[in-house]
Structure 1
């Protein structure tokens, strides 16, 4: 699958992070697998292990996100995935409106591995929690570094402030599952 280079929003530059690449690794009948690779992680703040479970406001520190908007409508869903193993999933009826918890029948799986100057965050979202049609996708992340410095990374940033919910950020594609 295609690797996407994310851009840091210019209003919130990173401290030491130099690049973020995100990709949809695979989709099968059980899981959607995603990966983010971060370069320049010497001052990256990684949330401590908290165990699996839903949690709100994960974006307040290092967090990885996927937005999926099925073709032909305004509704979309958002998945927030934390290195702490906490996660959240929401449905929106239109841009930033009508937010509700999205049903997820099985908890996502998240792992983060760190090297000397890079980190890799892998996530798997249960296929049953995903839209079953072709979707526009937004791959994003919030990275916190020492001193509370946050940078906001997305496929693009159309406005003066970061807004991962802007449909212009949904430039990747996720194909509907195929039936055998």
Structure 2
């Protein structure tokens, strides 16, 4: 994979459990996006949801969850994707910053999680109906077994953790080649 970036822990949510999260990804013809979240640390201290049958679910961000925000370059509308190590997922569209939230139709992403004592790797492949250049914000919520949560993003705005903030969409993904093969209801 290419396009490697490190996520930064929000300064108000420090943790000794996770020592770093690296995100890498690729964008292929037809709108296919593959993202890898590579978490390093004491993985046994992380609250990992049990593996389930893949499916759509709300509220995934309330425990360990990996997120991706995308926005067409030059637009204010954006999309939020939530990927749980359990293989549950969610996809939402927003008309503007935290306004006009609605579920969007996508093909179910493939989510694979592999964990060892010192690393957790979550690979996600999904089809985005958006083919133009995108601004991307990769994020993670890590809940520890004692209930402490740390919030990780490419960059954080001032104040409390806020993955929706426009400054969090800090990486530009080039346009895709070829037509999208998923429903473009977004």
SS in 2 for 1:59: helix
Matches within 5 A, 1:138-177: 138-177=137-176
Mapped partners of 2:51, 2:44: distance in 1: 19
Shift of 1:30: 5.8
3-state SS of paired residue (1:42): helix
Q: Distance in 1 between matches of 2:176 and 2:3?
A: 17
Matches of 1:130 and 1:19 in 2, distance apart?
31
Shift, 1:158, TM fit: 1.3
Unmatched tracts of structure 2, length 5 or more: 180-186
Structure 1 unaligned blocks of 5 or more: none
Tell me how far 1:31 sits from its aligned partner.
2.2
Q: Which residue of structure 1 aligns with residue 48 of structure 2? A: 46
Superposition deviation, residue 24 in structure 1: 1.3
Match runs of 1:1-180 below 5 Å: 1-29=2-30, 31-40=32-41, 41-104=43-106, 106-126=107-127, 129-179=128-178
Say if 2:69 and 2:169, in contact at 8 Å, map to a contact too: yes
Note the alpha carbon deviations across 1:91-115, whole angstroms, 9 max, x for none: 00000000000111x2101011012
Aligned-residue offset at 1:116: 2.1
Moved over 4 A (4+): none
User: 1:12 Cα deviation (Å)?
Assistant: 0.9
Aligned residues: 177
Name the SS of the counterpart of 1:146 in structure 2.
Answer: coil
Conserved 8 A contact 1:138-1:155: yes
Deviates more, 1:78-87 or 1:30-39: 30-39
